[in-house]
Structure 1
Amino acid sequence: MLATLSGCGLLGGDDAGSTAAPQGTGAVEKAKIKVGVLPVVDVAPFYLAVEQGYFKEQGLDVEPVVMGSGPAAISGILNGDLDIAFASYPAPLLAQSKRVADFKIVADALAAKPGHLVVVSPPNSTMKKPSDAPGRKIAITAKNSMTDLAPMSVLKTQGVDYTQVNWIEMPFPNMITAMQNGEVDGAVVVEPWVTVAEKQLGATPVFDGASGPTAEIPMSGYVAISGNGKFATTSPNTIAAFQRGLARAQSQATDRPKMEEMFVKYAKVDPQTAKLVTISTYSTSLEANRIQRVANLMTEFGVIKGELDVSTMIPNTGATAGS
């Protein structure tokens, strides 16, 4: 269930489309917080906020904790080792639907632009277009993640039988070798792996996973746990301070040199690749109606049973894009 977590918008209120900056301006309840992150491009603005002192300006001492996997990050907030965790949206949304805990989305991280989430194939492959996908082995990080849900949505819209695709689970770093060795016919990769696959293998795009029904779809955010004695309940001013610090950094994410520096230092991308990586949308607002698209996608493909109202997952800290 917690199979994936990796890569969208910030702050929020009670309604489905709130976009104001956090109003919780009182003293923070917890000055030192631990935030679980993964070595992915989605968290580049978070590290910029740490390096530039944007969190410190808000009275926070933020300690990044690099986690080995998305599930480990979710486990970290569930057991209290972390206050906030970066996550690919399907994992906390599924956990919320199963009432594993009361998850709150405290900040949006990244929404996919064209070129960020791509189905690719090796240069000698006969899989060249979406209609070639049925019957093929295609690598994904995990089932019921953005890496299979988004491509399935695109295939369904184009009238292609997505149920005949053989999805093969493996980590991103293994996908290039698997394509090279003929173990899979293609792979669903996100940046920086799109660029790495193109550089190292000469991989070619088959279709964009963030297009048509999934265009600009939110990929990831930062979550916390609510409830008696839990961080999201006991520390609203701390969350608002985190939101303001992160929003300031995310508003600078169009500064490519700044983002490239963070990619190299924290996503472990080499400088040449960093210059080629597609930079997606780092949001400065937290809008439930946008993230609701992910929940609806999960419901459409039977991952979530019934309906999940994402607006209930937005903490009531007030709201506005930070600056």
Structure 2
Amino acid sequence: MKKVYISLLSIIFVLLISACSQDNGDTDTEVKIAEVTRSIFYAPQYIALEEGFFEEEGLDVELQTIAGGDKVMTSLLSDNSDIGLVGSETSIYVKARGAEDPIINFAQLTQTDGTFLVAREPNDNFEFDQLKGSVFLGQRKGGMPQMVGEHVLKQNNIDPDNDLELIQNIDFANIASSFSSGTGEYVQLFEPTASQFEKDGIGHVIASFGEESGKVPYTVFMTKESYMNENEETIKKFTRAIYKAQQFVQEHSAAEIAEIVQPYFEDTDLDLLESSVERYKSQNSYADNPILDEEEWNNLKDIMDGSGELPEDIPYEDLVNSQIAEDVISE
């Protein structure tokens, strides 16, 4: 009888603990993020994960890397992901194809282009007209890096189609290795690859496309309109966590940030991560709040139009929800 009594007490104790856990909201909301690539350019996202900002909001975030903006869109539209981190141009492409459930931009992470112009030889007195007649290894046609690259060239009176040999048929993942093996005289690269090339003596950063092009919604968190309507509180909590991370990045040094995010870049030396973060911080690439404003949206469309890649002039209010971000930063 005594054993039965003890067993009953044990069961009651377990049930009480379980009930308390549920009452305290210990069951987090699961959110699946699809990032378009693993990049130090997305440092605030990794800060939000490592510093527990998502957990503070009761979110259990699963991060997956899906290479290619089109593949991120497919993942969102097929409900394999809840939120995508990718360039805003992808939401325009989806809308222009007649999607009944459009992709809505709700929190901006980066606000400039993240690529740098790398030359084989150092050049302290670089001028863009020196690119004329050269072989330029660019990014994938139709993607934001290539569109911004062409935009900057045109701003500097260079016709990408006639003034140089522009290579666009190499996959994103193979661009760096193609340059290091001898293809091209100039290449457009993200960090930390640009810094790694400098360290290895393969190339030298001579210009920043981010500084040249101005502010654009380069990388933005987005989701299906239906998901946002059904999970508005989750989206708000997510945006709040990102805003905390953005403030953290603004208030801490490149060295501190690099050390925190290093687990996401195990094959990259800490000093390269630090120099990469410093470059992005110095040119204000990391947005200091999640609001995507209309001026940035229009700049994006101008760049797309100039590259012949704007399928339709879609208004800001059709694909951008800034209200949630505005509510978060006003709290």
The TM-score range, normalised by the shorter chain, is 0.7 to 0.9
Structure 2 CA distance for aligned equivalents of residues 96 and 154 of structure 1: 26
Q: Percent identity?
A: 16
In structure 2, what is the equivalent of residue 300 of structure 1? 306
Matched, 1:157 2:155: yes
Higher strand share: 1
The separation in 2 between residues aligned to 1:249 and 1:119, in whole angstroms, is 28
- Report the secondary structure of 2:237's partner residue: helix
Matches within 5 A, 1:36-47: 36-37=34-35, 38-47=37-46
SS for the counterpart of 2:275 is coil
1:121-177 CA-partner distances (Å, limit 9, x unpaired): 21289x954223344332233112222221222221222222224233334553343
Q: Shift of the alpha carbon at 1:310? A: 2.4
| 1:251 matches 2:257 | no
Is 2:131 aligned against 1:133? Answer: yes
Cα distance change on mapping 1:168 and 1:201 into 2, 3 Å: farther
| 3-state DSSP of counterpart to 1:287 | coil
Q: Secondary structure at the match of 2:161?
A: helix
**Cα displacement (A) at 1:243:** 0.4
Instruction: Give the stretch that moved more between structures: 164-173 or 140-149.
Output: 164-173
CA distance in 1, matches of 2:189, 2:77: 28
Aligned pair partner of 2:319 in 307, 313, 316: 313
Larger Rg: 2
TM-score, structure 2 normalization:
0.77
SS of alignment partner, residue 82 of structure 1: coil
TM-score, with length taken from structure 1: 0.79
1:308 deviates by 2.1
Aligned equivalent of 2:292: 287
Q: Residues of 2 paired with 1:248 and 1:258: CA distance?
A: 16
Q: Which residue does 2:56 correspond to in 1?
A: 57
| Map 1:149-298 → 2, pairs under 5 A | 149-164=147-162, 165=164, 166-172=166-172, 174-212=174-212, 214-226=213-225, 230-254=226-250, 255=252, 256-268=254-266, 269-277=268-276, 278-279=279-280, 280-289=285-294, 290-298=296-304
Structure with higher helix content? 2
Structure 1: 5+ residue runs without aligned partners? 1-26
How far 1:245 moved relative to its partner? 1.0
Q: Deviations over 1:73-97 (max 9, x none)?
A: 2221110010001102332233233
Deviations 1:217-255 (A, max 9, x none): 3321111111xxx31221111111110111111111131
Counterpart contact for 2:246–2:289, Cα < 8 Å:
yes
Classify 1:33/1:91 alpha carbon distance in 2 versus 1 (closer, same or farther; 3 Å): same
1:255-299 deviation digits (Å, cap 9, x = unpaired): 123420244221443212112112332331313312332122112
For this pair of structures, how many residues does the alignment match? 288
Residues 322, 75 of structure 1: alpha-carbon distance in 2 compared, 3 angstrom cutoff? farther
SS of 1:131 mapped into structure 2: helix
Uncovered stretches (5+) of structure 2, i.e. residues with no partner? 1-24
Q: Please report how far the alpha carbon of residue 194 of structure 1 lies from its aligned counterpart in structure 2 after TM superposition.
A: 1.9
